[in-house]
Structure 1
Amino acid sequence: MESQVAPMDSGAGEEGVALAISPLGPGEKFHLFVSYSSVDATWTHGLIGRLEADLAGLRICLHERDFTPGRNVLENMAECIQQSQKVLLVLSQDFVQSRWCLLEADLSLFGSCLERKPVIPVLLRPCQVPLHLSHLTYLEAADSRFYCKLMQLLLMPNHRLERSLPAWRPASSLYSGKSLLTLNCVNRDSLPSWKVGTFSTLGLPDPLKGVLEDPEVYKQAVGILNGVRSPRSCLRYLGCRVTLAIFLFLVGLALLAMPLILGFLGNSPAQRFFFISATIFFCPLFFIMGVNSLCWFRRFSKKKMRELVLRVGEANLLLAPHSLLMGCESMNKLHFVYVLLGDCRRVFLEAAGSEAEAEALFREALLQFSCGYACCVAHAYFPACEEVHGAHGHLELGLCFCQFVALQLKARQGCRVSAV
């Protein structure tokens, strides 16, 4: 089992719960349908084996053993969920990123609406829970009493199990500072290290549908990022960079040894001066060019990231009126966060002399700082948060946008002063 998960509690009956499962009703074949990622198969199979050993007669549906061979996967999932009393979701980042697992989660919610079946999410490892699952209360696998709590839920009849019954595609509660989606580029698996990722604009992702009513806004925003071009230089290939660097180093060494090879004997003072001057000038030049060839990728990455940050700022000018911001910290991944910016906008209005000037300042702040701020919100980590401890902000947890901008401007001014 996973090393980071605490050992399961041994006794399920320590609080007087009788080890008796509810009988299967008409049309039911399983007591529990389990949905999990293949990465978490070892932990899940260990849990299922223990449940089946402790609860005689417990029938658990697993896709690898209970799906009908040769049948459509979607039909298998839908039928097995309908034939199960309860649904168990093993949540992890691998589960969240798996389209099949997300589809099973959607079907399980659909089944819970039709048949009044409870959904039991188990948080195996910390992850960004999908928006349409965030309203459910989950069990933590790291809890020392996790196994006992799970047994209690499994043994409790459905009509007695306390739960909230969500509507299909429930509108989960939105709060300022909420992370909605991490979006990977479509060619991530085959993406070379020097190439900028391409993000899909075919449709609006489900977690953003509760925020953006117009899909065209999303397509335009992502289209701005897709306009960033990858380089066409041969230096994008490591072999070319290494070959060029070796050649330049050899030329530099040849120049360094040229006075010794040709010798100073019999040469006029003018020729000696020429050799020495050429060595002093060209030899370091070729060495520097060789080092730059090897470091081309790092310089290119920094340049492209600066360009992407500015493009994300342009995209956020379209998304900000919808309380949505986008951030990127690499060339193949985007973060979308829900942030209310009305109060922060008013701070800019108070600081400026006129409404037009305030709007211009706010737009410039979005262009320059919205990308970094969205990444901080997505990770729930604000490195400079200690500097404004106790200051009034517009975000309950962490820094609001106007505070973040003020700290960034203060940091830039400090760098300029130190440079002077």
Structure 2
Amino acid sequence: MDPGPAEEGVAPAISPLKPGEKFHLFVSYSSMDAVWTHGLISRLEADLPGLRICLHERDFTPGRNVLENMAECIQQSQKVLLVLSQDFVQSRWCLLEADLSLFGYCLERKPVIPVLLRPCQIPLHLSHLTYLEATDSRFHLKVQHLLCQPNHRLTRALPARHPTPSLYSGKTLLTLNCINRDSLPSWKVGSFSTLGVPDPLKEVLEDPEVYRHAVGILNGVQSPRSCLRYLGCRVPLGVFLIILSLGMLLLPVMLGVQRNPPAERFLLIAVTVFFCPLLVALGVNSLCWFRRFSRKKMRELELRVGEANVLLAPHSLLMGCDTMNKLHFVYVLLGDCRQVFLQAPQGEALFREALLRFSSSYTCCVAHAHFPACEDTQGAPGHLELGLCFCQFVSLQLMKHEGLGVNPV
């Protein structure tokens, strides 16, 4: 993609627009990167006279669906430039990925120029392309060179679109954020879209009903309705109860307990001894409500994820959650691990129970490539090339929690 030495001394010229084309370039970017992107566009338009660039805020048709506008403008443009950053991946790319059938047809016929503005997780469908780095000293020359290249020459220089990614047991396929994650209150359990199977999962899961049912199980987890979910409610309540308990310690002094008859003195001291620790406990519980709620909801979510994994496991797919608003999907071959369970009495029931209780935490270990250390399994053959396989992980968990009523594998 670098401009050749002979070409650097020649004034670049933009290819003329063909019938049906309105723009030389469609630029997609996050609103967080608007200042940098507008600066790039201004420089390109100054250096390349006649360059026509499509911007969504300027050229989208008012009143139309955003996805339809994007698909139409991409189709009417010669090339597509994507300004990659983590904000772009989490916002703009999500719009594109929401309906691959709508924009995929257009992108497959247009040269895509990815520009890495800041380090981020490159989307799967762009990982095969060589991106330009915004910090490169020759960045602007490279962009101009690509814009002046005819499409047929540029397309031959790019790798084939959407190559089949290599699958291996233990591969992380997708990290899925919940809907409106950025504006979600900390106490609210996230909801996940069930409109369709995300594209990174389609290679192993083609049935949308299985995905919809599995994710729907998680969406059934209810958020709390207690007033303690609000920080402005539980903090004043907790502080008030603790201050009230301290005030009760001074109650005998204020009432002159020494001058009271022995029966009244005993009753007053007994009431103080009983209610003072009670009010302290209630105050501390109010202040620590969110921590207890998070632990309780995470346990509930892990069990719901286990139910979903019973549906996904036949497709060699597992999901896991380590927060209330994010899911990890991994591709794991479970056939050999299942055979280990089947060697025990009621093996099928044991395998299902293991999926229900341990599959979520195992998926998170695979997704983060971090497994608990265990000397007992180092000499035992596993079914995962790197890290513990599922049956080894379950055996380790059972040894750590003896007395659960299930024999180790």
Per the shorter chain, which TM-score range? 0.7 to 0.9
Residue 158 of structure 2 corresponds to residue 163 of structure 1:
yes
Partner of 2:251: 258
TM-fit CA distance, 1:246: 4.3
Write the mapping of 1:263-342 to structure 2, written as runs, cut at 5 A: 263-342=256-335
**Residue deviations 1:99-131 (CA, integer Å, cap 9, x gap):** 445479876642354xx4322223333444444
Query: Alpha carbons of 1:207 and 1:299: their partners in 2 closer, same or farther (altered >3 Å)?
Result: same
Instruction: Determine helix, strand or coil for the equivalent of 2:321.
Output: strand
Quick one: percent identity of the two aligned structures? 69
Conserved 8 A contact 2:258-2:265: no
Instruction: Determine helix, strand or coil for the equivalent of 1:265.
Output: helix
Conserved 8 A contact 1:31-1:84: yes
Conserved 8 A contact 2:14-2:50: no
The CA distance in 2 between the partners of 1:311 and 1:273, in whole Å, is: 52
Partner of 2:218: 225
The CA distance in 1 between the partners of 2:70 and 2:195, in whole Å, is: 26
Report the aligned-residue RMSD. 3.8
Conserved 8 A contact 2:79-2:112: yes
Instruction: Determine helix, strand or coil for the equivalent of 1:354.
Output: coil
TM-fit CA distance, 1:220: 2.0
Query: Alpha carbons of 1:25 and 1:248: their partners in 2 closer, same or farther (altered >3 Å)?
Result: closer
Query: Alpha carbons of 1:188 and 1:61: their partners in 2 closer, same or farther (altered >3 Å)?
Result: closer
TM-fit CA distance, 1:320: 1.2
Q: 1:373 aligns with which of 362, 378, 387?
A: 362
Instruction: Determine helix, strand or coil for the equivalent of 2:329.
Output: strand
The CA distance in 2 between the partners of 1:83 and 1:342, in whole Å, is: 48
Instruction: Determine helix, strand or coil for the equivalent of 1:195.
Output: coil
The CA distance in 2 between the partners of 1:38 and 1:369, in whole Å, is: 40
Partner of 1:23: 15
Quick one: which amino acid aligns to residue 344 of structure 2? S
Conserved 8 A contact 2:117-2:133: yes
Instruction: Determine helix, strand or coil for the equivalent of 1:17.
Output: helix
Structure 2's unaligned 5+ residue stretches are 403-409
- Give the number of equivalent residue pairs: 393
Conserved 8 A contact 2:14-2:51: no
Query: Alpha carbons of 1:250 and 1:339: their partners in 2 closer, same or farther (altered >3 Å)?
Result: same
Quick one: which amino acid aligns to residue 16 of structure 2? L
Conserved 8 A contact 1:95-1:102: no
Write the mapping of 1:202-241 to structure 2, written as runs, cut at 5 A: 202-241=195-234
Query: Alpha carbons of 1:338 and 1:133: their partners in 2 closer, same or farther (altered >3 Å)?
Result: farther
Query: Alpha carbons of 1:75 and 1:204: their partners in 2 closer, same or farther (altered >3 Å)?
Result: closer
The CA distance in 1 between the partners of 2:363 and 2:294, in whole Å, is: 20
Conserved 8 A contact 2:316-2:332: yes
Partner of 1:362: 351
Query: Alpha carbons of 1:103 and 1:191: their partners in 2 closer, same or farther (altered >3 Å)?
Result: closer
Instruction: Determine helix, strand or coil for the equivalent of 2:152.
Output: coil
TM-fit CA distance, 1:86: 1.9
Instruction: Determine helix, strand or coil for the equivalent of 2:159.
Output: coil
Query: Alpha carbons of 1:399 and 1:65: their partners in 2 closer, same or farther (altered >3 Å)?
Result: farther
Quick one: which amino acid aligns to residue 283 of structure 1? C
Residue 118 of structure 2 corresponds to residue 125 of structure 1:
yes
TM-fit CA distance, 1:30: 3.4
TM-fit CA distance, 1:343: 4.0
Residue 187 of structure 2 corresponds to residue 194 of structure 1:
yes
Query: Alpha carbons of 1:117 and 1:355: their partners in 2 closer, same or farther (altered >3 Å)?
Result: farther
The CA distance in 1 between the partners of 2:335 and 2:54, in whole Å, is: 49
Q: Comparing 255-264 with 97-106, which one deviates more in the overlay?
A: 97-106
Instruction: Determine helix, strand or coil for the equivalent of 2:307.
Output: helix
TM-fit CA distance, 1:373: 3.0
TM-fit CA distance, 1:197: 2.9
Instruction: Determine helix, strand or coil for the equivalent of 1:110.
Output: helix
The CA distance in 1 between the partners of 2:131 and 2:384, in whole Å, is: 25
Q: Comparing 359-368 with 390-399, which one deviates more in the overlay?
A: 390-399
Residue 80 of structure 2 corresponds to residue 87 of structure 1:
yes
**Residue deviations 1:146-202 (CA, integer Å, cap 9, x gap):** 5555444334433333123437xx755444344333434446566443332333434
**Residue deviations 1:252-305 (CA, integer Å, cap 9, x gap):** 234211221222434344544444444334322221221112211211121111
Query: Alpha carbons of 1:233 and 1:48: their partners in 2 closer, same or farther (altered >3 Å)?
Result: closer
Partner of 1:417: none
| TM-score between the two structures when normalised by the length of structure 2 | 0.78
Structure 1's unaligned 5+ residue stretches are 1-11, 414-420
Query: Alpha carbons of 1:85 and 1:203: their partners in 2 closer, same or farther (altered >3 Å)?
Result: closer
Query: Alpha carbons of 1:22 and 1:147: their partners in 2 closer, same or farther (altered >3 Å)?
Result: closer
Query: Alpha carbons of 1:317 and 1:278: their partners in 2 closer, same or farther (altered >3 Å)?
Result: same
The CA distance in 2 between the partners of 1:33 and 1:224, in whole Å, is: 40
Instruction: Determine helix, strand or coil for the equivalent of 1:179.
Output: strand
Instruction: Determine helix, strand or coil for the equivalent of 2:83.
Output: strand
Quick one: which amino acid aligns to residue 245 of structure 2? G
Residue 142 of structure 2 corresponds to residue 153 of structure 1:
no
Instruction: Determine helix, strand or coil for the equivalent of 1:32.
Output: strand
Q: 1:111 aligns with which of 103, 106, 115?
A: 106
Q: Comparing 185-194 with 88-97, which one deviates more in the overlay?
A: 185-194
Partner of 1:181: 174
Query: Alpha carbons of 1:203 and 1:65: their partners in 2 closer, same or farther (altered >3 Å)?
Result: closer
| TM-score between the two structures when normalised by the length of structure 1 | 0.77
